């Protein structure tokens, strides 16, 4: 009977530890990174397991971003990916922190995928994302 309780305690401990370790980890900056290419930048709706923040990137209609009547925003996403790549990113996280917390999110398409992107309420409105370097997705 004692073995049964010990096994149960070990199982519960393992479950709790695995739940704690699944929270995303933002690592301190290792300094400037060499630029990457826009093709290397993956769009992420959720935080990966381990990553480094490189900086916020924005895009507006003044820069050539557009949203079609069907919600396609490929031009805007391409601009965001180029800006993130210039910072050395391999990821574009569609989540921003305070004080840049958006008042609204829009649904926009990119190559037949749909994403929610933070947008400012200023004039002109700007799409925002975090340029990141993903160290571990899982």
pLDDT greater at residue 40 or residue 2: 40
Residue 90 has a pLDDT of 98
Residue 100 has a pLDDT of 64
CATH of domain 26-136: 3.30.110
Whether residue 95 is predicted with pLDDT greater than 50 in this model: the reply is: yes
Ranges of each domain in the chain: 26-136
Q: If pLDDT is split at 50, 70 and 90, which confidence band does 101 have?
A: low
Token pair for residue 136? 């571990």
Q: 124 vs 39, 44, 73, 106, 127, CA distance in Å?
A: 27, 24, 16, 15, 10
pLDDT greater at residue 80 or residue 65: 80
CB 52 within 8 A of CB 133: yes
pTM of the model: 0.80
Q: Say what percent of the chain tops pLDDT 70.
A: 80
* Residue range 15-61, pLDDT digits in tens: 544 445 579 999 998 889 999 999 999 999 999 999 999 999 999 99
Average pLDDT, the chain: 85
pLDDT greater at residue 13 or residue 135: 135
Token pair for residue 96? 């921003």
The CA distance from 44 to 39, in Å, is 14
Token pair for residue 49? 């397991």
């Amino acid at each position: 009977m004692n073995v049964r309780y010990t096994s149960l305690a070990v199982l519960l401990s393992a479950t709790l530890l695995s739940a704690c370790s699944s929270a995303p980890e933002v690592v301190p900056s290792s300094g400037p990174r060499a630029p990457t290419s826009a093709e290397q930048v993956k769009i992420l709706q959720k935080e990966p397991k381990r990553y480094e923040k490189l900086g916020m990137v924005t895009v507006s209609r003044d820069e050539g971003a557009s949203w079609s009547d069907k919600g396609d925003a490929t031009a805007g996403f391409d601009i965001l990916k180029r800006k993130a790549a210039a910072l050395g990113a391999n990821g574009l996280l569609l989540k921003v922190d305070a004080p840049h917390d958006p008042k609204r999110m829009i649904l926009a398409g990119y190559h037949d995928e749909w994403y929610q992107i933070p947008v400012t309420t200023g004039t002109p409105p700007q799409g925002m994302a975090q340029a990141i370097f993903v160290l571990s997705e899982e």
